[in-house]
Amino acid sequence: MSRFTTQLAAGLLLAPALLAASVAQAHQAGDFIVRAGAVTVDPREDSSRLRLAGTPLDGTSATVDSNTQLGLNFMYMVTDQVGIELIAATPFSHTVGVKGLGPLDGKLGDIKHLPPTLSAVWYPLQQQSAFKPYVGAGLNYTTFFSEELTSTRKSQGFSGFSLDDSWGLAFQVGADYMLNDNLMLNAQVRYIDINTTGRTRLNGQHVTVDVGIDPMVYMVGLGYKF
pLDDT attached to residue 72: 94
pLDDT score at 5: 37
CB-count burial class (<10 Å; 0-12, 13-18, 19+) for 196: buried
67 pairs with which residues across the strands? 41
Strands of the chain (E only): list them. 32-42, 46-47, 51-52, 55-56, 61-64, 67-77, 82-89, 92-99, 106-114, 117-122, 131-149, 158-163, 166-178, 183-192, 195-202, 205-212, 216-225
Q: How far is CA 134 from CA 186, 189, 222, 226, in A?
A: 11, 11, 16, 19
pLDDT of residue 7: 46
CA pair distance 82, 66, nearest whole angstrom? 31
User: Domain range holding 61?
Assistant: 3-225
Provide the CATH number for the domain around residue 103. 2.40.160.20
Q: Give me the pLDDT at residue 6, please.
A: 41
Cβ partners under 8 Å of residue 85, min gap 6: 73, 74, 75, 118, 119, 120, 121, 136, 138
CA separation for the pair 191, 140 (Å, rounded):
10
For residues 21 and 152, what is the distance between their CA atoms, to the nearest angstrom? Answer: 62
Residue type, 70: L
pTM above 0.75, yes or no: yes
The answer to whether residues 199 and 160 touch, using CB atoms and an 8 Å cutoff, is yes
pLDDT of the residue at 127: 67
Q: How many domains does one find in the chain?
A: 1
How many residues are given for the chain? 226
- Report which of 155, 137, 151 is spatially closest to residue 192, judged by C-alpha positions: 137
pLDDT in tens, the chain (226 residues): 545 434 433 443 444 444 444 444 678 999 999 999 999 999 999 999 999 999 999 999 999 999 999 999 999 999 999 999 999 999 999 999 999 999 899 999 999 999 999 999 999 986 678 999 999 999 999 999 999 999 999 999 999 999 999 999 999 999 999 999 999 999 999 999 999 999 999 999 999 999 999 999 999 999 999 9
Do 38 and 221 form a contact (C-beta atoms < 8 A)?
yes
